Amino acid sequence: MDEHETVRWDRDDDGIVVLTLDDPRRSANVIDDAYVASMGRAVDRLEAERDSVAGVVLTSAKRTFSAGGDLDDLLAAGRDDVPRLTAHVREVKAQLRRLETLGRPVVAAINGAALGGGLEIALAAHHRVVVDDPGAVLGFPEVRLGLLPGAGGVVRSVRTLGIADALTKLLLDGERLDPAAAHELGLAGEIVPAVADLLPAARRWIAANPEAVQPWDTAGYRMPGGTPASPGLAAVLPSFPANLRKRLKGANYPAPHHIMAAAVEGAQVDFDNALEIEGRYFVNLATGQVAKNMIQAFLARQGGKAPSAVDDSQDFTRRTIGARVAEALAMVEEGVPAASIEQASAQAGYRAPVLALADEVEPGPRRAGSESHVGGASGDVPFEDLEQRLLFAEALEAVGCIDEGVVATPADANAGSLHGAGFPGWTGGVLQYIDGFDGGVVGFVARARELAARYGDRFEPPASLVS
């Protein structure tokens, strides 16, 4: 196999073609440019040799089926990359669409985890056989990375499960389903005891279903649970965004909103236009800062990063949470209503109400210049300032911890802030928040100085940020 060929082609005497995902450069299969090129060649060949093809099996030579998109590529994609990324996802979706409309039965033989783009590949098959192994999990974890499934995952899951079940049981929480749960939900058509049983089961299904087509490509197809125009669904649909707003509490997590919009809007149009809608929402998220922050934090975790303090990891957590609490108490002293402070805390993305922590956490020592420059009228404090004061107080304290050697690296500080101190997940961590601020570190420094001029010198950026 060519060193850049990631999809291996094998045809048996019975005319069944087995396409094996096997990237020679990686320990796991991903959807990158090499995959697109290889799958493109495979689909071209399937179409050219269609008359001699009885069916297609998609499987993997790796321990996992496919890990999905290339996170390093997504991390690097900026707004200037919108045309390139749009073309990429369109091509991936077009290949899967050609595969499922080939006119031959297609089966995904899933030997391990099929997550994100891996599940999207599997959903383009007419049938899915999964090995009965705890590691063979299926799911769309994209929402936890600030993304949505962009290769047809939203469109196919909605048309397979219906809007309500697709959103609540698969898309919005990023749950990973074991084989039994996937079978119960309807994602897995068959479970087999061992990996060796996958291909025989796939061949049997192909032999029994030579005319297989996707449900949405059949005449008279009706979406499970109805479309947004159906009276039953239309009656409850307005509660979906209301419940989502209640759950997010105004925090900066655009992915759940985009997922819901793509699901609902896509259910009102034909399949191909639904794919286009999904793609636009995906590219908007993938080129935005929140996704980059969350992907970076996920990669700070994949590397086994934990808060490895030079002094004491608990000291980092105590100091950063203490700085947040101290700033909230400063707002109280200024006359800001407690309800406004707690709302600002929630909208900033903190899980725990900040003033409730005042009874559990000792406020951090106020830095020099702690006297506020504002009077006692809460109307003098813009709501955005309330949110950013909490975030900046904690971020600046974290920089101090780095400067003093309390934590060894920015990666340690990011991991510790997310998993120990409860810093908002959309930021990617306390120091990633600084890097990802509008204008980067320079923009953060400029905003810190604005806060210092209004609320006190404690917001003056340290020399380590300015130099």
What are the tens digits of pLDDT across the range 426-436?
999 999 999 99
- Identify the H or E element spanning 331: helix 313-333
- The boundaries of the domain holding residue 122 are 7-282
pLDDT score, position 370:
55
Chain center to CA of 201: 32
pLDDT at 168 over 80: yes
Q: Same structural domain for residues 325 and 398?
A: yes
pLDDT at 452 over 90: yes
| pLDDT band with cut points at 50, 70 and 90 for residue 376 | very low
pLDDT at 367 over 60: no
Residue 43 sits in a domain whose CATH number is 3.90.226.10
Last residue of a domain, one of 261, 282, 303: 282
Is residue 421 one of the residues assigned to a domain?
yes
pLDDT score, position 291:
95
Is residue 140 one of the residues assigned to a domain?
yes
pLDDT score, position 371:
59
Last residue of a domain, one of 282, 307, 322: 282
Is residue 288 one of the residues assigned to a domain?
no
Provide DSSP, 253-299: -HHHHHHHHHHHHHTTS-HHHHHHHHHHHHHHHHTSHHHHHHHHHHH
pLDDT score, position 283:
97
* Residue pointed to by tokens 């990324």: 85
The total number of structural domains that make up the chain: 2
| pLDDT band with cut points at 50, 70 and 90 for residue 380 | confident
CA distance 142 to 149: 6
Q: What is the mean pLDDT of residues 71-89?
A: 93
CA-nearest of 368, 413, 251, 287 to 295 is 287
What percent of the chain has a predicted confidence (pLDDT) above 90? Answer: 82
Is residue 148 one of the residues assigned to a domain?
yes
Is residue 2 one of the residues assigned to a domain?
no
Residue 305 sits in a domain whose CATH number is 1.10.1040.50
Exposed, middle or buried by CB within 10 Å (0-12, 13-18, 19+), for 363? Answer: middle
Residue 190 vs residues 109, 130, 134, 180: alpha-carbon distances, Å:
10, 6, 15, 10
Q: Same structural domain for residues 15 and 95?
A: yes
| pLDDT band with cut points at 50, 70 and 90 for residue 383 | very high
- Lowest pLDDT segment from 251-255, 306-310, 331-335, 394-398: 306-310
Is residue 289 one of the residues assigned to a domain?
no
Last residue of a domain, one of 249, 282, 315: 282
Q: What is the mean pLDDT of residues 219-242?
A: 92
Tokens of 149: 């499934």
Q: Same structural domain for residues 351 and 389?
A: yes
pLDDT score, position 221:
95
Is residue 194 one of the residues assigned to a domain?
yes
CA distance 42 to 82: 27
CA-nearest of 106, 125, 110 to 210 is 106
Q: Same structural domain for residues 159 and 105?
A: yes
Tokens of 353: 């109400």
Count of C-beta atoms within a 10 Å radius of residue 398: 28
Q: Same structural domain for residues 204 and 257?
A: yes
| pLDDT band with cut points at 50, 70 and 90 for residue 377 | very low
| pLDDT band with cut points at 50, 70 and 90 for residue 311 | very low
- The DSSP code for 429 is S
Count of C-beta atoms within a 10 Å radius of residue 257: 16
Q: Same structural domain for residues 339 and 304?
A: yes
Q: Same structural domain for residues 276 and 300?
A: no
Tell me the three state secondary structure of residue 20: strand
Chain center to CA of 409: 25
Q: Same structural domain for residues 222 and 140?
A: yes
CA-nearest of 55, 68, 76, 57 to 29 is 68
Q: Same structural domain for residues 370 and 339?
A: yes
| pLDDT band with cut points at 50, 70 and 90 for residue 421 | confident
Q: Same structural domain for residues 251 and 353?
A: no
> Which amino acid does the sequence have at 450?
E
Q: What is the mean pLDDT of residues 236-264?
A: 94
pLDDT at 2 over 70: no
CA distance 355 to 372: 18
Residue 152 vs residues 4, 195, 215, 228: alpha-carbon distances, Å:
25, 27, 15, 19
- Lowest pLDDT segment from 2-6, 17-21, 103-107, 248-252: 2-6
Tokens of 76: 């690097």
Q: Same structural domain for residues 11 and 125?
A: yes
Tell me the three state secondary structure of residue 18: strand
Q: Same structural domain for residues 225 and 369?
A: no
CA distance 200 to 206: 10
Tokens of 9: 């082609």
What percent of the chain has a predicted confidence (pLDDT) above 70? Answer: 93
pTM assigned to the model: 0.91
Count of C-beta atoms within a 10 Å radius of residue 242: 9
Is residue 1 one of the residues assigned to a domain?
no
